[in-house]
C-alpha cells in the first residue's frame, strides 16, 4: 500500500495551523502546502469541496479532515506509514 497524498489548507497567522505545521515539521512528513490567502484557487477549492473556509484542513487522498487536534493525532498515529521529506 502506498502512502496517502497529503495536502494542508492553511494560512500563516492561524494559531491552529501553526500547531499542525510544527507537528508536520517535527515528524518530517511530506505534505503539499496550500495557503488559502496566497492562492485564491486553494480557497475556492476548499470552499467548493467543504462549504467552509475553515483551516487547518488536511486532505488525505482527497478527503478533508478538520480540527487541528484530530489532524495532529492522525499524523502522529500514521507517521511510520507516511512519506517523509527528502
| Distance separating alpha carbons of residues 45 and 69, to the nearest angstrom | 23
For the stretch 8-25, pLDDT in tens is 999 999 999 999 999 999
Side-chain half-sphere CA neighbours of 54 within 13 A: 12
Q: Cell for 68?
A: 487541528
- Specify the CATH class of 8-81 in words: alpha beta
Q: Cell 500500500 maps to which residue?
A: 1
If you average pLDDT over every residue of the chain, what do you get?
96
- Model confidence at 1, pLDDT cuts 50, 70, 90, reads low
Per-residue pLDDT averaged across 38-58, rounded? 97
| Distance separating alpha carbons of residues 82 and 77, to the nearest angstrom | 10
Decide if 32 contacts 55 (C-beta within 8 A).
Answer: no
At residue 82, φ and ψ (nearest 5 deg) are -100, 150
Confidence at residue 80, expressed as pLDDT on a 0 to 100 scale: 94
Amino acid at each position: 500500500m502506498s502512502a496517502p497524498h497529503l495536502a494542508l489548507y492553511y494560512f500563516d497567522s492561524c494559531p491552529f495551523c501553526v500547531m499542525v505545521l510544527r507537528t508536520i515539521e517535527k515528524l518530517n512528513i511530506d505534505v503539499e502546502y496550500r495557503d488559502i490567502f496566497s492562492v485564491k484557487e486553494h480557497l475556492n477549492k476548499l470552499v467548493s469541496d467543504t462549504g467552509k473556509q475553515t483551516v487547518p484542513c488536511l486532505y488525505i487522498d482527497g478527503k478533508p479532515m478538520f480540527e487541528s487536534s484530530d489532524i495532529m493525532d492522525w499524523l502522529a498515529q500514521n507517521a511510520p506509514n507516511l512519506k517523509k521529506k527528502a
